[in-house]
């Protein structure tokens, strides 16, 4: 089983990433750290607790950074994910509590105590991870791999140039991308191939368990917003691509590239510049996902939902 820590900002698609990671026999979800992103930290934390409680996952949840590393908060995504950050599902009252320890210290202590066998998954702005790397630089050699959703070699989704997670905290993304740890990137180029449609919702509904319920309630809301905003045939299921890659790497093709994040304030602020054609002749620092086997991905999502069948 591959040990993972999931850093996220739920978020409808983050919720599905938790769902897929929480029960899969190939993964061991050690902990969830939460960051401000899709909504403010109080909301994303509450959402992470609701999702894990709803799914009956006993994983500990830690609150992390409430604002970007350097600049003031410049974006949340209420227009996509709703006022709560996870509009759609109606959850039972919240009994589950967050751990006392700060998420960044949890990351540092857990990684430092490990044998270098923990994979970090990042599905939100990279503030917690950058902070952890600055507080304890030795963690970079302890990270087995960092699999993240963020950036794009093509177009942005929050500005013409930048993807949301990178735009929320470009300085953190830059620190992490320059850290030297092994990295795999699920950018918008890849997640645009993971389009959730109303047919997908109908398909998952048939599983009729609590995971299917969560999937359908979150995606029904998300499809109205994310799907419509970009004129796509559906809503890209961004964050779960990271988990799919860990469960079944063969469903995603990657290409090593040199990637840098633009932190100069201007039109390209937060853009991930990816040297696709290797014109810079620089050593690649990121394995960038390029092609998704979509039918295989959706089978994986359905199987992930059906793992919650027995309860």
207 binds, among ligand BDR, Ca ion, none (CB under 5 to 8 A by kind): none
φ, ψ dihedrals at 72, nearest 5°: -65, 160
- Binding-site string for ligand BDR from residue 128 to residue 167, where x marks contact by CB under 6 A and - marks none: ---------------------x-------x-----xxx--
Which of residues 14 and 262 has its CB atom nearest to Ca ion in the complex?
A: 14
Instruction: Decide which of ligand BDR, Ca ion, none touches 157; Cβ closer than 5 to 8 Å per partner kind.
Output: ligand BDR
Q: How far is CA 49 from the centre of its chain?
A: 16
126, 217, 238, 30: CA torsion to nearest 10: 50
Q: Which of 9, 13, 169, 239 is catalytic?
A: 9
Residue 169 interacting with ligand BDR (CB under 6 A) = no
Dmax over CA atoms of the chain, in Å, equals 55
Q: Does 51 bind ligand BDR (CB under 6 A)?
A: no
Based on CB atoms, which residue is closest to ligand BDR, 13 or 145? 13
Which parts of 192-289 fold into alpha helices (H)?
A: 198-205, 210-222, 228-229, 240-247
Indicate which single residue of 38, 44, 76, 200 sits in contact with ligand BDR (rule: CB under 6 A): 38
Q: Which does 164 bind (CB under 5 to 8 A by kind): Ca ion, ligand BDR, none?
A: ligand BDR
Beta-bridge partner residues of 120: 5, 146
Q: Does 275 bind ligand BDR (CB under 6 A)?
A: no
Q: How many other C-beta atoms can be found within 10 angstroms of the C-beta atom of residue 246?
A: 20
Contact pattern from residue 3 through residue 22 relative to ligand BDR, giving x for each residue in contact according to CB under 6 A and a dash for the rest? --------x-xx--------
Which one, 235 or 304, has the nearer CB to ligand BDR?
Answer: 235
User: Which of ligand BDR, Ca ion, none is residue 47 near (CB under 5 to 8 Å by kind)?
Assistant: none
Q: In angstroms, rounded to a whole number, what is the distance separating the alpha carbons of residues 107 and 257?
A: 27
* Residue 50 touching ligand BDR (CB under 6 A): no
Active site residue 9: yes
Q: Does 238 bind ligand BDR (CB under 6 A)?
A: yes
Residues 6+ apart with CB under 8 A from 66: 36, 40, 41
Tokens 């061991």: give the residue: 28
Residues in the interface with ligand BDR (CB under 6 A) total 15
Q: Which of residues 69-88 bind ligand BDR (CB under 6 A)?
A: 77, 80
3-state secondary structure of 78: helix
- Angle formed by the axes of helices 12-23 and 41-55, to 10°? 40
When the beta carbons of 156 and 304 are compared against ligand BDR, the nearer one is: 156
Relative to beta strand 252-257, strand 286-292 is antiparallel
Q: CB under 5 to 8 A by kind: which of ligand BDR, Ca ion, none does 235 bind?
A: none
Q: Is 64 a residue that touches ligand BDR (CB under 6 A)?
A: no
The contact set with Ca ion (CB under 5 A) reads 9, 11, 14, 123-124, 239
Distances 254 to 152, 187, 209, 251, 297 between C-alpha atoms, Å: 13, 11, 33, 10, 15
Q: How far is the CB of 230 from Ca ion (least distance, A)?
A: 16
**Could you tell me the CA-to-CA distances from 34 to 12, 167, 219, 292, 298 in Å, in that order?**
14, 17, 21, 27, 26
Residues that bind ligand BDR (CB under 6 A): 11, 13-14, 38, 77, 80, 123-124, 149, 157, 163-165, 238-239
Q: Which residues are catalytic?
A: 9
């Amino acid at each position: 089983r591959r040990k993972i820590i999931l850093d996220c900002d739920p978020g409808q698609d983050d919720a599905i990433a938790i769902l897929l990671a929480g029960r899969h026999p190939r993964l061991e979800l050690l902990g969830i750290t939460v960051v401000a992103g899709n909504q403010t930290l109080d909301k994303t934390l509450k959402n992470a607790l609701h999702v894990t409680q709803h799914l009956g996952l006993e994983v500990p949840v830690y609150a992390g950074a409430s604002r970007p590393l350097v600049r003031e908060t410049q974006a949340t995504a209420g227009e996509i994910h709703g006022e709560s950050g996870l509009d759609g599902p109606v959850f039972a009252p919240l009994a589950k509590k967050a751990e006392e320890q700060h998420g960044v210290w949890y990351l540092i202590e857990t990684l430092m105590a490990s044998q270098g066998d923990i994979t970090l998954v990042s599905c939100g702005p990279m503030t917690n991870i950058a902070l952890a790397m600055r507080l304890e630089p030795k963690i970079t050699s302890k990270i087995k791999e960092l699999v993240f959703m963020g950036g794009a070699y093509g177009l942005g989704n929050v500005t013409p140039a930048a993807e949301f997670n990178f735009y929320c905290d470009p300085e953190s993304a830059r620190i992490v991308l320059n850290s030297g740890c092994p990295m795999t990137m699920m950018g918008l180029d890849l997640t645009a191939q993971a389009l959730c449609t109303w047919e997908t919702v109908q398909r998952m509904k048939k599983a009729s368990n609590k995971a299917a319920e969560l999937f359908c309630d979150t995606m029904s809301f998300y499809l109205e917003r994310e799907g419509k905003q970009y004129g796509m045939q559906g809503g890209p299921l961004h964050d779960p691509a990271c988990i799919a890659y860990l469960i079944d790497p063969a469903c995603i093709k990657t290409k090593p590239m040199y990637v840098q994040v633009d932190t100069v304030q201007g039109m390209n602020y937060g853009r991930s510049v990816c040297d696709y054609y290797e014109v810079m002749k620089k050593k690649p620092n990121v394995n960038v996902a390029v092609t998704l086997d979509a039918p295989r991905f959706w089978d994986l999502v359905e199987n992930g939902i059906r793992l919650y069948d027995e309860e």
